[in-house]
Amino acid sequence: MRNNTLLKITIGILAVLGIALATSIVGFRELNRLSEREANFAGRSIENGAKLFETNCIGCHGVQGQGIPGVAPALNSANFFDGRLQEVGYAGTLQSYIELTIASGRPVGSGNYSAVMPTWGEEYGGPLRPDQVRDLADFILNWEATAVGGGEATPTEEVVIDPNADPVEIGMAVYAANGCAGCHGEPGGAGIIGPNLGGIATRAGTEVAGLSAEEYIHQSIVDPNAFIVPECPTGPCSPNLMPQTFGSTLSEAELNGLIQYLLTLQ
Amino acid sequence: MGVINNVAREIRTEGVISWLLRQLDVLITKLTTGLNWNDLRGLARGDDPRRPNPRLTVHSESFWFHIKPSYYHQSVTKLTHTFRLGLLSTYFFFIELVTGIFLMIYYAPTPQRAYGDMLNILTNVPFGELIRDVHRLTAEGMVIVVFLHMVRTFLTGSYKKPRQFTWLTGVVLLLATLFLSFSGYLLPWDQLAYWAVTIGGSMIDKAPPPVLGKTTQLILLGAPAIGPAGLLRFYLLHVLFVPLLVIFVFFIHYYKVVRVGISLPSSEEEIGQDTAKRVPADRRRYYLPDVFTDEMLLLALITFILLALIVLNVYPGAPLEHHANPNKTPLHTKAPWYFLWIQGLLKLGDPTIMGVVVPTIVFGFLFIMPYIDFNPSRRAKDRRFALSAWMLALAVFVILTWMGTPFFKVASPPAEEVVQLMLPEEEAGPVRETPWAELQLGEWDTRVDVPGDPDSVANPVMQGLMEEMAQHIVQEDVKAYEKGLDEGLPNGYGKMIIEEWQDGLKKITMRIFWQPEGVDEQTFEKTFFIHEEAGYGE
């Protein structure tokens, strides 16, 4: 009996020492573990943000966040990380600025950008939960390394349009270079925030009485507010969504090419 | 003044040191409610007690020891008689209380905060992950231990007269344990939690008649679907109501155990007799020190084993999936393993019958079993029917549990399954387990990038992945026909496109192609982003 009890007490003491040892091992690793886990979840947040960006944002801000001229600003540019807060006079951090803008949107398009930023946060009636807004902000902030320098900038191709080429080819290049697909989608696919232009050649002649197809398309590009079609993919179309500046930014040849190209979309 | 004079006189006659030691001994005797220093040493050495036995005073004077009997029958203190599973259940519940309180410090039960609080516990609270892992592992351990406790009681026939009510309270404790575990499932507010509890909630909804089901669900969730109200209610049930119920019922349960005594091995008494409380003096085994030592040894060992399982990563740690997303149903919603048998039942037929009526009958039968079992004998040879029925029930339980897993009758499209196997939504999977830097940019094809193909430009790692993907495509094709799906993956192949997307971020597009007879080629595509630091594979 006596030896038995002593043996049990010894094993018990060893087990308690084992518990102390196990806890010490955890304690010893704990600081490293915490920072490792922090990096893990920061990484996963960026992954989530990338996915959300792809589903919700590329229509206006471009697949790689390069923005679409006249529609929505670039988010992967040096200026976005270095100058934006001063430009708008925002006193908080860039992260809070991004989260705020995503959640509450931009009620009016500012000078350079015509598109309205919708309210994405669920607290303002949008579809995204606060954690998703944070994930998106983490993803956007992750462009900093490549935007500010050091890393390789996201390549955005400089498009050179040959004025002597076939007008339809010029038009296709203009369509691509000006980010038309950002809102209208690829012709024949689905529109994103603007109406899809598949079949525009057929519709154009009958939309507005007194305008030929060519005249109607011309008017829609240079003066988009003159006539607003009723139905857009996200609900009724609203004025001022399409840039009002194409009349001055496109050359005669480019404008003509674009019209010729659109007229081929039967 | 008299007291001080007395003390002074005592010190003069005894000397300071022996006076101090004597005072210390008085203090020890008070703390132990009756044992002085020499008695304690005697306990540890296994000496016989002095007379009158001071160890019995402890049982009458100390609150915690008065709950325990002062002696047991020798035959019931053997580890193999009860395996001390009741003690273990109680101890696991105690661990849950302590670790649970620590977790409560860092947790708020609202959808806005819950998931972020979990992240905070994992990334910012020292020992937070350990406490959470212990809480989770112990919770699952408690389900096992409580279940085994019930099995032991059944096999030794200890639920029979006079212990029927002890059994009944035990079934209440089993249900409470299951509910505690399940309600804890929801609290992290991740995908796993949200969808498991959504299934559970919709089962309650099916309880007949519809008015009862709907009302119960509404009371439990506070809304037709799980949301802020449901989270708060599950939280309060988890941390307050059910633990209180457990404590309340536990004391009834344990009082009955002590009052009636632990049943002797059936061979040691006549059929129909119960002599557990009449312990002959020479068969007594005293709680102090023998049983107490055994119990403490067991608890220390179990605690050590729990911690070792976690520290050595044998237990992979409590999972935390993506934030709960009501708009995104996971490909496989998994019930916790101890409810897989119900999920298996649900696949067999009508949810009302299989999900509500059958489990109610099962637990209802457990409640009344001791009252309808009129066989007085606890000996195995007299209980052939009961033991055979038990074996059968166990077999059914195991089969149903297997049927509850996605391996049985889950008809998701095979292409989706292949992608899920390569790159699961929540776990690591072969692609994420590949070191990030070795995910070579480019477009990879299962038809080209297999080992030994001279056309392939892939490195061995990418070739390995493609080979694995090709195998999954073949296997899922076969499985689809086995499961009777309309379409497998005939002529199937897969592609994986890896692009550099951002600093430390790669975009992975998985495409599966297949071409049934006389139809155009079909495609399934899914994109993923993998960050260098995400650390799923570790």
Q: How far is A177 from chain B (nearest CA, A)?
A: 21
For residue A48, tell me if it sits in a domain: no
Q: What is the mean pLDDT of each run of 10 residues along chain B (538 residues)?
A: 84 91 94 92 85 90 92 90 95 97 97 95 95 97 97 94 95 97 93 90 85 90 91 96 97 95 90 87 90 93 96 92 90 86 89 90 95 91 94 96 84 88 90 91 88 81 92 90 80 91 92 88 91 82
**Structure tokens belonging to residue B457:** 């430009």
CB contact under 8 A, B531 and A44: yes
Crossing angle (nearest 10°) for helices B384-404 and B128-155? 150
For residue A236, the model assigns a pLDDT of 66
CA of A129: which chain B residue's CA is closest?
A: B112
For residue B25, the model assigns a pLDDT of 95
Q: How far is A181 from chain B (nearest CA, A)?
A: 21
For residue A34, tell me if it sits in a domain: no
CB contact under 8 A, A30 and B532: no
Q: How far is B474 from B494, CA to CA, in rounded Å?
A: 11
Tally of structural domains, chain A? 2
Phi, psi (deg, nearest 5) at residue B446: -65, -20
CA torsion through residues A116, A122, A124, A126, sign? positive
For residue B1, the model assigns a pLDDT of 63
Residues A62 and A143 in one domain: yes
Chain B residues with CB-CB distance to A23 below 8 A: 130, 307
For residue B277, the model assigns a pLDDT of 86
Q: Between A26, A43, A130, which is nearest B535 by CB?
A: A43
For residue A159, tell me if it sits in a domain: no
Domain that holds residue A218: 167-263
For residue A179, the model assigns a pLDDT of 67
Q: How far is B386 from chain A (nearest CA, A)?
A: 38
CB contact under 8 A, A146 and B502: yes
Q: Between B297, B311, B531, which is nearest A47 by CB?
A: B531
User: What is the helix (H) or strand (E) element at residue B85, kind and residue range?
Assistant: helix B85-105
For residue A33, tell me if it sits in a domain: no
Q: How far is B108 from chain A (nearest CA, A)?
A: 15
CB contact under 8 A, A145 and B503: yes
Query: C-alpha A42: how far from its chain's center?
Result: 20
Tens-level pLDDT at each residue, chain A (266 residues): 456 777 888 999 999 999 999 999 999 999 999 999 999 999 999 999 999 999 888 888 888 888 877 778 889 888 889 888 888 888 899 999 999 999 998 876 556 676 778 889 988 888 899 999 999 999 999 998 888 654 444 444 445 667 777 888 888 878 877 767 767 777 766 666 678 787 888 888 888 888 888 888 888 888 887 888 877 766 667 666 676 777 777 888 888 888 888 888 87
CB contact under 8 A, A16 and B300: yes
Residues A143 and A175 in one domain: no
For residue B535, the model assigns a pLDDT of 85
Residues A102 and A180 in one domain: no
For residue A201, the model assigns a pLDDT of 82
Contacts across the A-B interface (CB distance below 8 Å): 129
Chain B residues with CB-CB distance to A54 below 8 A: 527
Domain containing A176 — which CATH number? Answer: 1.10.760.10
**Residue spans of alpha helices (H) in B106-190:** 114-124, 128-155, 164-186
CB contact under 8 A, B119 and A54: no
Domain containing A117 — which CATH number? Answer: 1.10.760
Tokens 């060519």 correspond to: A214
CA of A34: which chain B residue's CA is closest?
A: B123
For residue A154, tell me if it sits in a domain: no
For residue A195, tell me if it sits in a domain: yes
Q: How far is A136 from A119, CA to CA, in rounded Å?
A: 14
For residue A26, tell me if it sits in a domain: no
For residue A154, the model assigns a pLDDT of 43
**Structure tokens belonging to residue B67:** 């709950």
For residue B395, the model assigns a pLDDT of 97
Residues A245 and A206 in one domain: yes
For residue A259, tell me if it sits in a domain: yes
Cis peptide before B52 (omega within 30 of 0): yes
CB contact under 8 A, B533 and A43: yes
Q: Within 10 Å of residue B194's Cβ, how many Cβ atoms?
A: 27
